[in-house]
């Protein structure tokens, strides 16, 4: 629960809204890349997770939520999205933005509007219907995706985005390393604060692990891609950056992050030509061995010391049964669906179950530890099909265009798709839908291939124009 705001904080938030939102509106119309880069800077630099801390505190993502229905940052995002819509309507002849995704965006808007209508008829408060434990962040994700696609529509802007990602990931990695090796690590540490384990962690927030993994992927791509030919000095910097980011994930001891990082590098391996795969396999195997050893020694052995694999799946092993495993939560949520399978229990809906087995939920049963399960709980089979169709359209778009991209456009698209692969374990067993920062970063990964293909389209049109002009 967000702590109550003091009168001074209320006044500050109101003034910020009154002055900031019109400014943002103007920037989106004139220089949308500055707004989008501002969001990227915040998302890459500030943690959102406070779970595991001994004392609760506000984050930049929750400022204003005690006064408005949404946080100030969310209000800025929605304002920017509305400004982007007006800009698009003012220029209907311009290039379409991510056309395969548009129909799903509209469908989600109508679906959530229907839930608002039904919820108000049932006497549910609007702030609960549109709360962050509902489906609001799916809309936030799509708004940010479209804002990013609109903002980075030139080679210069896309290059700026790419290197902003790399530089911010490096800065965040250095910050985490200093805090880990010279101080006490992340203060959000449930392993030590709640479970009593003597463990320091690099990052607990899954989004910080994503930032590190995305930085590691970009470094590995630049080191291995045939079209990338860095100097020896730059190669050494990239390798050091790669090791730092992998260490950040390993020393965070998040299983979903480690699996996500593994999926990203398996994807990179498949994208490489045959001659380079052998070298990457050797280096990757060495790094994986080190990471797995550190992960087991410092975290997994506390779960089950029989083997590394049994420790990794200690809470989902078949012999535990559904009622004694991590999946009991999803089982309880399914049991609570009753006759609401088609449209869900509503964005305000909750589930019930054995409170002892679900003690980690506290008294909040308005979400489940599965992104897909959460969508199903809230919006039923209809919402889940829409969400899965949206992701399928994204995958199909990337697969259709990936082999036509070269250079930095290819890196941008590959990094976006690799970032999506990182989020797959979290979508299966995490809580991404209720996290503002996580969903915006997912929106960024969805946007990156569309940006890359848009840049390529501009390049092709320019080449054809120059060719026709030369002939004339």
pLDDT digits 0-9 by tens, 243-289? 999 999 989 888 889 899 999 999 998 888 777 777 777 877 777 77
Lowest mean pLDDT among 90-94, 123-127, 229-233, 441-445: 90-94
Q: Give percent above pLDDT 90 in the chain.
A: 48
Cα–Cα dist 216/455, whole Å? 24
Of 97-101, 432-436, 465-469, where does the model show the most confidence? Answer: 432-436
Confidence category of residue 2, pLDDT binned at 50, 70, 90 = very low
Q: Is the pLDDT of residue 465 over 50?
A: no
Residue with the bigger pLDDT between 466 and 96: it is 96
Q: Which residues contact 249 (CB under 8 A, 6 or more apart)?
A: 202, 209, 212, 213, 216, 257, 258, 261, 291
What does the block give as tokens for 375? 């969508």
Confidence category of residue 1, pLDDT binned at 50, 70, 90 = very low
| Residue 401: predicted pLDDT | 93
Confidence category of residue 462, pLDDT binned at 50, 70, 90 = low
Average pLDDT over residues 67-88: 85
| Residue 472: predicted pLDDT | 52
Lowest mean pLDDT among 63-67, 206-210, 357-361: 63-67
Q: Is the pLDDT of residue 38 over 70?
A: yes
| Residue 153: predicted pLDDT | 84
Q: Give percent above pLDDT 70 in the chain.
A: 83
| Residue 193: predicted pLDDT | 84
């Amino acid at each position: 629960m967000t702590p109550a705001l003091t009168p001074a904080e209320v006044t500050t938030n109101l003034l910020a809204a009154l002055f900031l939102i019109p400014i943002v509106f103007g920037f989106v119309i004139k220089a949308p890349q500055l707004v989008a880069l501002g969001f990227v800077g915040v998302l890459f630099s500030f943690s959102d997770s406070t779970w595991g801390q001994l004392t609760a505190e506000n984050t930049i993502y929750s400022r204003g939520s005690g006064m408005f229905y949404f946080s100030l940052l969310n209000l800025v995002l929605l304002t920017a999205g509305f400004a982007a819509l007006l800009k698009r309507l003012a220029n209907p002849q311009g290039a379409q933005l991510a056309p395969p995704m548009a129909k799903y965006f509209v469908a989600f808007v109508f679906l959530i509007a229907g839930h608002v209508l039904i919820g108000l008829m049932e006497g549910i408060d609007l702030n609960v219907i549109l709360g962050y434990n509902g489906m609001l962040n799916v809309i936030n994700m799509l708004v940010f995706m479209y804002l990013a696609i609109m903002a980075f529509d030139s080679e210069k802007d896309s290059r700026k985005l790419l290197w902003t990602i790399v530089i911010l990931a490096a800065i965040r990695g250095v910050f985490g390393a200093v805090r880990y090796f010279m101080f006490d690590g992340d203060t959000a540490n449930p392993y030590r604060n709640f479970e009593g384990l003597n463990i320091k962690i690099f990052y607990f927030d899954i989004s910080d692990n994503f930032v590190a993994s995305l930085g590691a992927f970009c470094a590995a791509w630049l080191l291995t891609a045939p079209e990338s030919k860095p100097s020896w000095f730059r190669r050494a910097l990239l390798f050091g950056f790669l090791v730092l980011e992998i260490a950040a994930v390993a020393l965070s001891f998040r299983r979903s992050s480690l699996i996500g990082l593994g999926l990203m590098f398996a994807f990179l391996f498949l994208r490489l030509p045959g001659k380079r795969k052998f070298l990457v396999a050797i280096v990757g195997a060495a790094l994986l061995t080190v990471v797995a050893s550190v992960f087991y020694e410092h975290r997994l052995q506390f779960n089950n010391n029989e083997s590394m694999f049994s420790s990794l799946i200690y809470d989902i092993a078949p012999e535990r049964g559904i009622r004694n495993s991590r999946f009991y939560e999803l089982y309880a949520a399914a049991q609570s669906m009753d006759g609401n399978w088609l449209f869900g229990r509503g964005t305000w809906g909750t589930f019930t179950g054995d409170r002892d087995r679900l003690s980690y939920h506290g008294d909040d049963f308005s979400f489940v530890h599965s992104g897909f399960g959460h969508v199903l709980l809230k919006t039923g089979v209809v919402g889940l099909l829409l969400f899965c169709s949206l992701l399928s359209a994204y995958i199909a778009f990337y697969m259709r265009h990936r082999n036509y991209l070269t250079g930095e456009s290819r890196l941008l698209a590959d990094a976006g798709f690799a970032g999506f692969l990182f989020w797959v374990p979290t979508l299966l067993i995490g809580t991404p839908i209720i996290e503002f920062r996580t969903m915006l970063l997912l929106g960024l990964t969805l946007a990156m291939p569309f940006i890359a293909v848009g840049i390529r389209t501009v390049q092709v049109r320019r080449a054809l124009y120059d060719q026709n002009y030369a002939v004339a």
